[in-house]
Structure 1
Amino acid sequence: MSLDFGLKAVHVLITGAAGGIGLETVHTFHQLGARVTAHYNSNIGELTHLEGVVSIQADVRNEESVDRLLQQAAEQNGGPVSVLVVNHGIWPSNDAHIADMDLSQWQNTLAVNLTGPFLLCRAYLRALRNADHGVKDTASIIFIGSTAGKFGEANHGDYAASKSALMYGLTPTLKNEIVAIAPFGRVNCIDPGWVATPMAEETLKDKAFVERALATTPLQKVASPVDIARQIAVMASPVLSGHVNGMNIMVDGGMEGRLLFPPKAQ
């Protein structure tokens, strides 16, 4: 039995689409018949080989660059964006307590992970004001949060703070604001735990680290990008999730938190 997600010909913009969760999300929406615009920053990667997908470069930290991204997406892919998937983000790999973190690291992480989503949502909502009813009827913003935004993450307070702001600041705020522009518009957040992406590849090579990270996860496995991409598609679907709004959907295998220290030997 085939299931119609109601996303055929719907214009979906996915940020950070060149790798990991983003690339898998591009494939998923393309398979569902959506018109996909894929954003990348410095490396286009495999996007260059995808037929039927419009790829556009932009620096999400820059106001003019983000405004241009939304304009070019509309011009090159058949009209205004209806579904915005805010997937991009950085996770500095160096461990740094807040007491030792450089201000430049803090500022750059928040610029990419928080100011970028603000600029994207603002440009998207402004364009949505002038869109036709068909675009507004399927309007949806989907943020990609993190278990770090729920539980915090020692040595990565910049990342945790930025994700928490998306999950518990912007999501509930925008779900109340979007309806003033699109009466059926929705805003939700998909919050993964550890996912086997290129960004996490080196960290996940440490078996002891993975054991600690999964110590409170009943499913005892690291997610794959397709696990997250499919949940994003379900949340974007006006057929499957048309009455789901302002929610944080944890896609983390049932994680209850992280152990600060490995268990003592018996």
Structure 2
Amino acid sequence: MTKSAFLFVLLLFSVRAFGQTDTIFSNNEKIPCIVKEIKESSVVYVHPGEELLNSIYKNAVQKIVFKNGRVQVFAEATSFNAVKGVDDYEKVTVTAVESEVKGLFKVGDVSAKAVGTTELSNQERVKNRAYRKLKMVAAMMGANAVYLTNQRTEGNKIGYFSSSSAETNLTGVAYTNRLPDFNAFKELLDRHKGKMTQVLEVSLGGSSTEYAKFKTNKPFTIENLTGENGLIVIDDKYRVVGFDQQGFNVYYRNKSKWFNVRVDFGE
């Protein structure tokens, strides 16, 4: 058998073998496999030619295409809304159930605080402001889900010598069901060799419950680009939270203030 004929037979065998497997479409990859079991919170599978059982959380599975052609879509993955920027903060899901974020990608810790303006402030409104801020911070970080780890709420205190307003403190962990692709982002940068310009800055202070937007016109440069644990980091400071053909958004924190910056590609 000639070398070319051998390669053709090998390719044909590979194609047939792939067609005889199931395919799991996760949030960031395709997994050719044999699905063994679909449990309440996970999918159990084996790689072709192996016996070792693997599992993946259903939150991370968009769909399974079985070898017979049947397609099963998972509501767990599609229940998370796309958050393209801070204006989409209301789409962020906040949960106190840890299993609901299993399989998602952690992007960082998040916190929020709201205090009433007077000793007669409505406690429920103060709590709602804290939740709004928590979602805003998460959206600036590129997250669409928050696992709430702690909530501390105190009511108004009125005393003869001292008084205090209602207060709510929230802490949690921000997650996303889909991270920006490092290789795709790097290819996009390679295609745009021209100047980059910071055109918009969104900021949210630690004591504020509303974010501020400012148009800018500053040059933006990249000296170092790294990708670790699925996170794209620029110059050890900025984390890429999303990109398109026109530019990208980065997140960073400076002390008690959060920032989300839009950078556009030049001509």
TM above 0.5: no
TM normalised by structure 1 equals 0.26
Higher helix share: 1
TM normalised by structure 2 equals 0.26
